[in-house]
Amino acid sequence: MEPRFQTNRLTLRLFEPSDALLVQALAGSEEVARTTLSIPHPYRVLKSENQAELGYWVGRPFWGQGYATEAAQKIVKFGFEGLRLDHIFAAAMTKNPASYKVMQKIGMKPEDNLPKQILKSGMYEDLVHYGMVKSEIIND
């Protein structure tokens, strides 16, 4: 059962699709994004919600051998063809070129720069978002 709570002044419930535009406007405020970990600024609402975020890590001894690229390429193909997603995106700290190089190599394009987006080890870090749609798949 979906959690739903009532306080004196508030109803706390899960989002519904009809909340999208209001949430975009309110959560999209720079003052909200400044101190939250996963709220992007600007806050975009895609026409279709059929999207997913790609993430990856590889054990240190195995870096630089193309494994992340090879795996990401396969997963993206599964996302579009198996899960029928419309859009796949990934985020990396701008100080992590190895990660956004992987995104570029699988055909993702830059979508957003998100300055000072996450607090990591006491420092605000800049993020870059990359993304792609199905027609941008690079086949191996």
Residue closer to ligand COA by CB (options 118, 133) is: 118
Residue closer to ligand COA by CB (options 5, 57) is: 57
Helices (H), the chain: 20-27, 30-33, 67-77, 97-105
Chain centre to alpha carbon of residue 26: 19
Query: What part of residues 22-81 is at the interface with ligand COA (CB under 6 A)?
Result: 56-58, 63-69
Instruction: State which of residues 76, 92, 106, 132 lies at the interface with ligand COA (CB under 6 A).
Output: 92
| Minimal distance, residue 116 CB to ligand COA, in Å | 17
Q: List C-alpha distances in Å: 134 to 6, 78, 106, 115.
A: 42, 11, 12, 28
User: Is residue 124 close enough to count as binding ligand COA by CB under 6 A?
Assistant: no
